[in-house]
């Protein structure tokens, strides 16, 4: 077994795709397992790299793991809260059943040959916190079907770790942002609807707070856990940059030269958490710290969208907007 040979699940989705590219850049041999759902990025091509191979498979249907892998990093998951409220079954199947299957496959390997299981979790498993910050030892109080299934997955990892001796590490991060994010997420959704001349819909009064982290900073944190972390430990990964959704939308509108009220309020979704906040002191001791800020990123992102749209040389304003949206979001 070699630590440089890793298995990544969900390597075509947002965070996983950034991690795969970083892993290849660092000299890892990457085996990517992905079923390529609607959330898969279409602008990626890792096939030209000799240190890469792809397995087209749902993690729920995987029958065996490749041999001689040092780490299994599980990004594969259904991840949008609104979708989880409408289709709980798919979230349970992927986020709980999929993790169960992966753990069972690891359990079936000789202990000395097993990969270390790295579960990519979320700060949402803690539930909201009105003051202070959640630390890794806090109890889990998920508030949505999505966060409940992610919390259940974490609990499976704990149970299989203790009962069967599977070595694991769990990473929990805040709201990720960055290039290639699904169009349903707040930042790309706001850009997409605004480019169409439409007002984005803001749940509730927009006052609920989240901690925002750049996707590459998060992936650097995951690598820190992989390369320097301890087995059977949890690591919170956050920038400590806290903003309300209203603040984020107004940042975007300002940089797009739109009125700050170019959105509309709609009824809040069920179980809306008021505030997420996690303490990342544990991983910072290992030498990790974030580099990007949300305020610094948004103008860079919009500039990149514009540059990509210009390369398409659209024949009309309508086509220009379509090109900008498609290539900026995906």
Q: Please return the burial class of 299, using the count of CB atoms within 10 Å of its CB with bins 0-12, 13-18 and 19+.
A: middle
Active-site hit among 124, 128, 220, 242: 124
Alpha-carbon span 38 to 318, nearest angstrom: 24
Nearby residues of 97 by Cβ (< 8 Å), 6 or more positions away:
60
Alpha-carbon span 246 to 268, nearest angstrom: 13
Structure tokens at 66: 């490749």
Contact by Cβ (8 Å): 94, 152: no
| 307-16-271 Cα angle (round to 5) | 95
Alpha-carbon span 328 to 330, nearest angstrom: 6
Is position 58 annotated as part of the catalytic site? no
Is position 25 annotated as part of the catalytic site? no
Active-site hit among 146, 168, 297, 301: 146
Is position 124 annotated as part of the catalytic site? yes
Active-site hit among 34, 78, 123, 216: 123
**Any idea which residues carry the catalytic annotation?**
123-124, 146
């Amino acid at each position: 077994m070699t630590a440089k040979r890793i298995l990544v699940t969900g390597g075509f989705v947002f965070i996983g795709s950034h991690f795969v590219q970083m892993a290849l850049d660092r000299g890892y041999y990457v085996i990517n397992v992905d079923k390529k759902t609607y959330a898969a990025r279409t602008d990626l091509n890792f096939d030209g790299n000799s240190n890469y191979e792809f397995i087209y498979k749902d993690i729920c249907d995987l029958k065996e793991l490749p041999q001689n892998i040092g780490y299994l990093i599980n990004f594969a998951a259904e991840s949008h809260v609104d979708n989880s409220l409408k289709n709980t079954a798919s979230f349970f199947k992927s986020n709980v059943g999929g993790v169960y299957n992966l753990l069972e496959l690891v359990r079936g390997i000789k202990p000395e040959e097993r990969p270390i299981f790295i579960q990519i979790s979320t700060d949402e498993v803690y539930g909201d916190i009105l003051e202070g910050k959640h630390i890794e030892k806090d109890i889990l109080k998920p508030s949505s079907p999505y966060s409940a299934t992610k919390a259940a997955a974490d609990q499976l990892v704990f149970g299989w770790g203790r009962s069967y001796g599977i070595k694991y590490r769990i990473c929990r991060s805040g709201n990720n942002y960055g290039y290639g994010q699904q169009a349903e997420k707040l930042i790309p959704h706001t850009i997409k609807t605004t480019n169409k001349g439409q007002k984005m819909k803001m749940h509730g009064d927009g006052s609920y707070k989240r901690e925002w982290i750049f996707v590459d900073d998060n992936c650097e944190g995951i690598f820190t856990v992989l390369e320097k972390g301890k087995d059977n430990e949890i690591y919170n990964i956050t920038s400590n940059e806290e903003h309300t959704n209203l603040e984020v939308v107004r940042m975007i509108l300002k940089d797009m030269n739109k009125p700050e009220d170019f959105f509309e309020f709609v009824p809040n979704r069920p179980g809306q958490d008021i505030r997420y906040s996690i303490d990342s002191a544990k991983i910072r001791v290992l030498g990790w710290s974030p580099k990007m800020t949300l305020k610094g990123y948004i103008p860079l992102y919009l500039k990149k969208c514009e540059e990509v749209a210009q390369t398409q040389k659209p024949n009309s304003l309508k086509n220009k907007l379509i090109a900008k949206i498609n290539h900026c979001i995906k």
